[in-house]
Amino acid sequence: MNIFVCVSHVPDTTTKVNVAGDGKNIDPAGVKFILNPYDEFAVEEALRLKEKNGGEVTVVSVGAESSKEGMRQALAMGADKGILIKADKSDAFSVASLLADTLKTVNADIILLGKQSIDFDGMEIAPMLAELMDLPAATVVVSLAIDGGKATVEKEVEGGKEKIELAMPCIVAAQKGLNEPRYPSLPNIMKAKQKPIQEVAATAPAARTAVVKMDKPEKKRVGKILQADGNAAGAASELARLLHEEAKVI
Amino acid sequence: MNILVYFEERNGQVRKPSLEAVSAAKALGASMINAVIVGSNTSAALSDAVKTSGVSKIFTVDHAWFSEYSSKAAAKAVAEVAKSSGAEVVIVPATGRGKDIAPRVAVRLGAGYVPDVTAFAANGGSIHATHPVYAGKANVQVEVTTPVKVFSTRPNLWAAPKDASAVASIEAATGSLTDMDFADRTKELALSQGKLDVAEADIIVTGGRGMKGPEHWGLIEGLATSMHAATGASRAVVDAGWRPHSEQVGQTGKTVSPSLYVAVGVSGAIQHLAGMSSSKTIVAINKDANAPIFAVADYGIVGDAFEVLPALTEAVSKIKSH
Ligand SMILES: Cc1cc2nc3c(=O)[nH]c(=O)nc-3n(C[C@H](O)[C@H](O)[C@H](O)COP(=O)(O)OP(=O)(O)OC[C@H]3O[C@@H](n4cnc5c(N)ncnc54)[C@H](O)[C@@H]3O)c2cc1C
């Protein structure tokens, strides 16, 4: 199978967000970057597909030279090679377009991604890529089976799960629960350094959205905190009263 | 401004987040709001509440193949109606299905897209849409720079419209769908039986690791029952196998915006806050006065959950029985 995984390099989840001087981005000072956690599920699933069906796993990323760090992590998990599309990431559409331009040329059987990257949390790339490539896609996927030119997935939706059948080639975006990503072993980390990453120079299409400003959510919470202090019943009935009479939510 | 709203149908009903999107469209100052619904028997979903939701016209795209829903085909149908009706803005609810079709619709329309919008502000001729980023640690205000704009709106943040006087006209839209468009097909929807889902619920009682074990979940369920609430769980609880992943609230679980969120024995890690901080009223019960959850709470009790929960359940039941 010819398997492709799109990965991104993002600030660590625990990063403290400080808004940069331009008021539109986060201040990158002191921020540690990691392979997007949802992409790890996608890489793991790709490796399992390869182990079962044979073939090759290629990781693809859009970004600057530094994106190679995230790609190396995927290569250390076991992916065979990488393609770095060198361009500025201006918005989700431009990233999806750059990915589509490259992926249209490679005869992929399946393209895997994380359901979202943990910086912009947009859940946009997989459906946009699918539309640009005219392919079927499923997101928030927690199980995947391939049989006879067809992929069957389970997607989490409100109140339960949908079972979706996709004609192949197709695009699948991973949710936590799809699998348990493996840890790269030390020898594999060493080997990953030798694996090829092809660079593609590209110009991003014009962005269709622009960040006007970034700010931290204002906390305008009421903040009435009661102390139980050996009188749990008293605090509980006061809380119930406040929820009923003041907040009017019960 | 001519706005088209996507009416998501499930089991013969238009889902509430779609009607909330009509309110969002109104708040944007639309001069004309139409809706589009796709399915294999759309007339079933056109209840009175839907017809009087305040939209002028409901375009129906009926195709037998939609008995197995396809996001690829639905997106094509929505984009076609958007074009033929002259929509300048398309609003799709940010539901499981909506988040799949909105980006596709945007690509088809050559439009910029802002996902999971929590607020809109008009700024002269342009719209600034707020979208939470970095697990809710920041918000961005985004402007769409293309003539046509697509947004998805987070459920539960706008009230569903009530008592509109006008009744929408219904118009069958003949799209150019072919069987080729149904390259993805939803074979089955398995709903968790008889339980209110956290993603839909108006009130949620969530238990964290502070509950010590699954054997104590009766206390969470007791409070939830007294409040007609759904039960949720933190990731620590789900990872420990005490509760199913479907109940997990947070970055790797579900994003919720209920009117009341009660977090019991939940520390309030950033990834948990990512899923629930847009809840309208937040209540925290935790024995550690310094737990981060108190920083986002409107009300709270510093105390032992095992003492507070039974007392709170009783107090709520008393109020409810009056
Ligand atoms: C990539 C990533 C994604 C994640 N996604 C999610 C997610 O989607 N959802 C999520 O919830 N987490 C998520 N997490 C995990 C998150 O970081 C925390 O580990 C988790 O939320 C902690 O769960 P908890 O608050 O239940 O447990 P703990 O952190 O152990 O907190 C337990 C709390 O209970 C209190 N307590 C203990 N005993 C009592 C008592 N008797 N009465 C009252 N209070 C008591 C304690 O004071 C403490 O505050 C994610 C982490 C990562 C790295």
pLDDT tens for A75-120 read 999 999 999 999 988 899 999 999 999 999 999 999 999 999 999 9
The tokens 């990431």 sit on which residue? A89
Instruction: Determine the residue among B66, B116, B127, B137 to mutate to test chain A binding: the one whose Cβ has the most chain A Cβ atoms within 10 Å.
Output: B137
Direct distance between the N- and C-terminal alpha carbons of chain B, in angstroms, rounded to an integer: 47
Which residues of chain A does B133 touch, with a Cβ-Cβ cutoff of 8 Å? 119-121, 214
The yes-or-no verdict on residue A182 having pLDDT over 70 is: yes
Cβ within 8 Å of B, A 55-94: 91-93
Percent of chain A at pLDDT exceeding 90? 92
Q: What is the mean pLDDT of chain A?
A: 95
- By CB atoms closer than 10 A (0-12, 13-18, 19+), residue A210 is middle
Which pair of tokens denotes residue B188?
């089955």
Query: How many CB atoms within 10 Å of residue A25?
Result: 14
> How much is the pLDDT for A4?
98
| A145 in B contact zone (CB under 8 Å) | no
CB contact under 8 A, B260 and A136: no
* pLDDT reading at B24 higher than 90: yes
Of chain B, the percentage scoring pLDDT greater than 90 comes to 87
Q: Give the model confidence (pLDDT) of B292-303 as tens digits.
A: 999 999 999 999
Strand bridging mode B138-144 / B126-133: antiparallel
pLDDT above 70 coverage of chain A, percent: 99
Q: Does A139 touch chain B (CB under 8 A)?
A: yes
pTM to 2 decimal places: 0.90
The reply to whether ipTM tops 0.90 is yes
CB neighbour burial string for B219-240, b if at least 16 within 10 angstroms, e if fewer: bbebbbebbebbbbbbbbbbee
Among the listed residues B272, B261, B276, B92, the one whose alpha carbon sits nearest the alpha carbon of residue A14: B272
Distance of CA B270 from the midpoint of ligand 1 (Å): 9
Instruction: Kindly indicate the confidence band of residue B218, based on its pLDDT and cuts at 50, 70 and 90.
Output: very high
For B:203-262, CB contacts with A below 8 A are 203, 227, 245-246, 251-252, 259-260
Q: Per-residue confidence at A32, pLDDT binned at 50, 70, 90?
A: very high
* Averaged pLDDT for residues A21-30: 94
pLDDT score at A220: 67
| pLDDT higher than 80, residue A245 | yes
Quick check: B194 pLDDT over 80? no
At A107 the pLDDT is 96
Cβ–Cβ under 8 Å, residues B45 and B149: no
pLDDT in the model for residue A121: 93
Q: Which tens digit of pLDDT belongs to each residue from B82-98?
A: 999 999 999 999 999 99
Model confidence over A135-177: pLDDT tens digits? 999 999 999 999 989 999 999 998 889 999 999 999 999 999 9
Using CA atoms, how far apart are residues B301 and B73, in angstroms rounded to an integer?
50
**What is the Cα–Cα distance from B220 to A89, expressed in whole angstroms?**
45
Nearest to B139 by CA among A28, A213, A22: A213
Q: Which of A93, A118, A167, A204 is nearest to B138 (CA)?
A: A118
Q: What is the mean pLDDT of chain B?
A: 95
Any CB–CB contact under 8 A between B18 and chain A? no
Q: Which residues of B282-294 are buried (b: 16+ CB within 10 A; e: fewer)?
A: bbbbbbeeebbbb
User: How far is Cα B98 from Cα B153, in angstroms, rounded to an integer?
Assistant: 9
d(CA A191, CA A189): 5
Q: Residue B142: what pLDDT?
A: 98
pLDDT number for residue B317: 96
Rounded CA separation B296/B261 (Å): 11
**Phi and psi angles of residue B315, each rounded to the nearest 5 degrees, phi first:** -65, -40
Point out the residue among B135, B200, B311 whose CB comes nearest to the CB of A118: B135
Q: What amino acid is encoded at B77 in this protein?
A: A
Angle at B311 between CA B309 and CA B314, to 5 degrees: 105
Confidence of residue B51 (pLDDT cuts 50, 70, 90): very high
Mean local confidence (pLDDT), B243-248: 92
- Distance from A183 to chain B by nearest Cα, in Å? 18
Query: Cβ contacts (< 8 Å) between B280 and chain A: which residues?
Result: 249
- Taking the Cβ of residue B301 and every Cβ of chain A, the question of whether any pair is shorter than 8 Å is answered with yes
Q: Three-state SS across chain B?
A: CEEEEEECEECCEECHHHHHHHHHHHHCCCCEEEEEEEECCHHHHCCHHHHCCCCCEEEEEECHHHHCCCHHHHHHHHHHHHHHCCCCEEEEECCCCHHHHHHHHHHHHCCEEEEEECEEEEECCEEEEEEEEHHHCEEEEEEECCCCEEEEECCCCCCCCCCCCCCCEEEECCCCCCHHHCCEEEEEEEECCCCCCCCCCCEEEEECHHHCCHHHHHHHHHHHHHHCCEEEECHHHHHCCCCCHHHEECCCCECCCCCEEEEECCCCCHHHHHHHCCCCEEEEEECCCCCHHHHHCCEEEECCHHHHHHHHHHHHHHHHCC
Residue B49 has pLDDT above 80, yes or no: yes
Rounded to whole angstroms, the maximal C-alpha distance in chain A is 69
pLDDT exceeds 90 at position B163: no
What are the phi and psi torsion angles at B176 (to 5°)? -105, 30
Residue of B101, B145, B71 lying closest to A90 (CA atoms): B145
CA angle, residues B257, B263, B265, in degrees to nearest 5: 155
Atom 37 (ligand 1): residue with closest C-alpha? B210
CA–CA distance, B106 with B113 (Å, rounded to integer)? 6
Q: What is the pLDDT of residue B152?
A: 98
Instruction: Name the residue with higher pLDDT: B191 or B230.
Output: B230
Is residue A4 a contact partner of residue A61, using CB atoms and an 8 Å limit? Answer: no
Ligand 1 geometric centre to CA of B308 (Å): 19
Q: Give pLDDT, residue A13.
A: 83
